[in-house]
Amino acid sequence: RILMIGSNGQIGSELATALRRRFGTENVITSDIREPTVLKEDEIFEIINVLDKPALTDLFEKYKPTQLYLLAAMLSATGEKYPQKAWDLNINGLLNVLDLAVELDVKKVFWPSSIAVFGPHSPKQNTDQYCVMDPVSIYGVTKLAGERLCEYYHHKYKLDIRSVRFPGIISWKTAPGGGTTDYAVDIFIEALKYGRYTCFLSANTALPMLYMEDAVRGTMELMDAPVEQISIRSSYNLAGLSFTPSEIGKEIKKILPNFEMSYVDDDPRQAIADTWPASIDDAYARRDWGWKPKFDLESITEDMIANLKTNV
Ligand code: VAH
């Protein structure tokens, strides 16, 4: 049985759908700090605060999960507004889950890290699995510390915890929550609504990105891989594609010729984006468990516009 904590978020909501399809709705328990906006009658949901250890213990004991997916976190931009809360949620939430997973013998745990673990002294292009990581955002600090905790709990308690460093994720079903890469989602929504978009990152800010279908498939493939193939217990680099706001704007213009783009140059998220890599080397994920992205900028743009037109 699978327990997911943080199922209302951008990744959680779509990963939950994929897990229900794969393991059966009755075997997937979703949970978050508040009720989801949509819940079908056969879907199981529980309200939980991942920082409330006694309540979390009750939830684990009630469902006795064999797999646990922790998607509850505060992202980079919001984290800069509430750094202490970001540390508390992202680290103490993870620690509560790690301890319960060990105590109650959960077979596999998934926890997402992020390219936010890299910083100004990390290589900018094809950033490799092992390199200097000096994150400047508190979110990046929590993800780097979280990776070290995951590796420690694996070696100390033999916990089978698996992780990937997600790039910015693009999707249309659930809005992202307070990330620096959110522009790559907002641009599509506003292009369709208003025919124009004012971008909070500069035109040439190249960032690593991944389409949600690839992110969900990659997560499932990582979790399905035989344990002996997993050589990284901090978090795997994962790459999809890299592009700049200018490049995605041009791609949108191919479908929406009247689309206009402008830029602001005083957004605090620019300072975070400037410390992140432009592209990622995911050789370990490809070697260990056969990772390969499928979506490129053209297919992402087509899929986003087609779905947003009919669903939003
Ligand atoms: C953020 N979407 O912007 C997240 C992600 C790599 C970016 O971690 O904070």
pLDDT in tens, 46-61: 999 999 999 999 999 9
211 flagged as catalytic:
no
pLDDT value of position 312: 61
List 63, 69, 130, 139, catalytic entry: 139
The model's confidence at residue 214, banded by pLDDT at 50, 70 and 90, is: very high
Ligand 1, pocket-test mutation among 10, 137, 180, most atoms within 8 A of CB: 180
Average pLDDT over residues 4-13: 97
pLDDT value of position 103: 98
pLDDT in tens, 235-265: 999 999 999 999 999 999 999 999 999 999 8
Measured distance CA(16)–CA(72) in Å, rounded: 13
What percentage of residues in the chain have a pLDDT greater than 70?
100
Is ligand 1 within 6 A of the CB of residue 179?
yes
Rounded (to 5) percent helix, strand, coil in the chain: 45, 15, 35
Instruction: Kindly report whether the global pTM for this prediction surpasses the value 0.80.
Output: yes
Ligand 1, pocket-test mutation among 11, 75, 138, most atoms within 8 A of CB: 75
Average pLDDT over residues 64-84: 97
Computed over every residue of the chain, the mean pLDDT equals 97
Measured distance CA(207)–CA(205) in Å, rounded: 6
Is ligand 1 within 6 A of the CB of residue 161?
no
User: 221, 218, 213, 206: which is closest to 295 by C-alpha?
Assistant: 213
Average pLDDT over residues 74-82: 96
Statement: residue 82 has pLDDT above 90: yes
ipTM above 0.90, yes or no: yes
pLDDT in tens, 147-179: 999 999 999 999 999 999 999 999 999 888 899
Measured distance CA(105)–CA(117) in Å, rounded: 29
Average pLDDT over residues 101-114: 98
